[in-house]
Amino acid sequence: MLLEFEQPIVRLEEKLAEMKELAENSKVNVSEDIKSLEKKIQTLKEETYKNLTRWQRVQLSRHPDRPYTLDYIYSITDDFIELFGDRTVKDDKAMVGGLGTLDGQTVMFIGQQKGRNTKQRQMRNFGMANPEGYRKALRLMKMAEKFNIPIVTLIDTPGAYPGFEAEERGQGEAIARNIRDMFMLKVPVICIIIGEGASGGALGIAIGDRVLMLENTWYSVISPESCSSILWRSWDYKEQAAEALKLTAQDMKGFGLIDGIIKEPLGGAHRNIPWMCNELKKNILDELKALSAMDANERIDSRIEKFSDMGSVIE
């Protein structure tokens, strides 16, 4: 899928392909022109992706070719075993989790999962978990705590499912219970936003010792489109809403709401998935090493203090 701001780059790449084809099919020497155009394309790419607007980063975070939770898990673990069900209602396909080995270390992975095609998107409910999804996540966290296994959550959701039946089954209570209980987990908890991080749907699995964001992701109480529809009764002002919300990884780091930013390949995570997976794995291992050296009570106190210190009051 081609995003609007990427069109100038693609036009130059098409011109480059034509020049290379000309060089192959004729005796015309255009090697210098090819080198010059390649340099121009690289410069344009660097300038474009370095100066993205907040709305453009939101678009990149939703790119259909970006790796999703299971893509990362299967790539970085040796023997992932998915676990199912909340032991109360059913198995929520929008929330996935299980055990995997990361360089010899067993880790409990939990995250929202989106679909690639229409059938998968319906099955995964577009990554919007129901109450049973959050209860499954908490069940897996408690299991990990019981066996002293660190937890890694991968957040990628447009929000918790807002349907009437979800509210009937206790959506708000399920998310609130997760937030409360995650503060007191005795094992290391690392939370990483890999795509969209919207509202309580994201926060329900995002209370941890370390909260990280990929470079082209967003984290906010509301999406730009929903914010625009509330303030202007139209989605047409989503770009202005994105700027006002200050929802990018760079904004979150500046506000002190996250602990770090994981760099993406030029053009987004989908441009070089193997590299992105290796970078994610490296960051997880580094954080696990640091957190494992801490006492459990020290980690809990630090976790509580970190979230308690967020925000400021102006009188």
The confidence score (pLDDT) of residue 220 equals: 96
Per the structure block, which two tokens stand in for 214? Answer: 């990929």
Where does residue 104 fall: left (phi above 0), alpha (psi -120 to 50 degrees), or beta otherwise?
Answer: left
The confidence score (pLDDT) of residue 255 equals: 93
The confidence score (pLDDT) of residue 20 equals: 83
Hey, is 301 helix, strand or coil? helix
Q: How far apart are CA 270 and CA 290, in angstroms?
A: 29
Tens of pLDDT along the chain (315 residues)? 778 898 999 899 888 888 888 777 777 777 788 888 889 999 999 999 999 999 999 999 999 999 999 999 999 998 999 999 999 999 999 999 999 999 999 999 999 999 999 999 999 999 999 999 999 999 999 999 999 999 999 999 999 999 999 999 999 999 999 999 999 999 999 999 999 999 999 999 999 999 999 999 999 999 999 999 999 999 999 999 999 999 999 999 999 999 999 999 999 999 999 999 999 999 999 999 999 999 999 999 999 999 999 987 777
The confidence score (pLDDT) of residue 224 equals: 95
Measure Cα distances from 289 to 143, 150, 191, 222 in Å: 21, 11, 15, 34
| Structural contact between residues 178 and 202, judged by C-beta atoms closer than 8 angstroms | no
Q: Identify the helix (H) or strand (E) that includes residue 119.
A: helix 118-123
The confidence score (pLDDT) of residue 193 equals: 98
